């Protein structure tokens, strides 16, 4: 695309199919910016497997939601999703309720890679990406925490986790 005002947004909409997708669930005003983001929201926010613990003392006030949290700050982030109070990127349609996630996102726009691997010296835009790299590339123990199966690569472990019967037997999927 020829550089012009708004060309990045046009690119994101035409090439990556970014558009506003409202959640539509009761008591949720979240508006996703892409189908991938919508699927992530559905899985993380409305998905199965969210368990209350004895430390979950801060309950979501929405009657359609059973979420509870240990810390008030976690409840506030949760409420920000319900009410679509988000930080918006000035350069694309990315939105997030977490300011740290927004900072990590902005580092991608400016190609900032301030986190270096101490083993191979490859650089990354966030500490999470560095950790993922170290785990996937420099780790040799890929065992499932639920069933104990040992796999040869990180990617095989991730694939196994999707269908691990021991992990899924406590969810509503099986």
> 115-148 pLDDT, tens per residue?
999 989 999 988 888 988 888 888 777 888 889 9
Residue 68 in tokens: 């509870």
Residue 139 in tokens: 């780790």
Residue 105 in tokens: 């996102």
**127: helix, coil or strand?**
helix
All structural domains of the chain: 7-97 (3.30.160), 115-168 (3.30.160)
Nearest to 33 by CA among 94, 109, 96: 94
31-57: pLDDT as tens digits? 888 888 888 888 877 776 555 667 788
> CA Rg, the chain, in Å?
19
Percent of all residues in the chain with a pLDDT value above 70, rounded to a whole number: 90
pLDDT at 174 over 50: no
65-87: pLDDT as tens digits? 878 888 999 899 989 988 889 89
């Amino acid at each position: 695309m020829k550089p012009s005002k708004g060309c990045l947004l046009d690119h994101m909409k035409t090439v990556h199919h970014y558009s506003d997708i409202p959640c539509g669930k009761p008591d949720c005003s979240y508006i996703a910016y892409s189908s991938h983001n919508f699927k992530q929201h559905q899985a993380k926010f409305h998905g199965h497997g969210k368990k209350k613990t004895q430390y979950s003392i801060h309950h979501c006030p929405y009657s359609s939601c059973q979420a509870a949290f240990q810390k008030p700050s976690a409840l506030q982030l949760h409420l920000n999703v319900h009410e679509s109070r988000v930080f918006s990127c000035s350069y694309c349609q990315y939105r997030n309720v977490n300011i740290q996630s927004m900072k990590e996102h902005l580092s991608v726009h400016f190609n900032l890679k301030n986190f270096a691997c101490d083993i191979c010296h490859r650089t990354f835009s966030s500490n999470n990406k560095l950790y993922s790299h170290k785990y996937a590339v420099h780790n040799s123990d890929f065992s499932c925490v639920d069933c104990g199966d040992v796999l040869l690569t990180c990617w095989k472990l991730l694939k196994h986790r999707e269908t691990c019967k021991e992990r899924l037997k406590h969810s509503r999927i099986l």
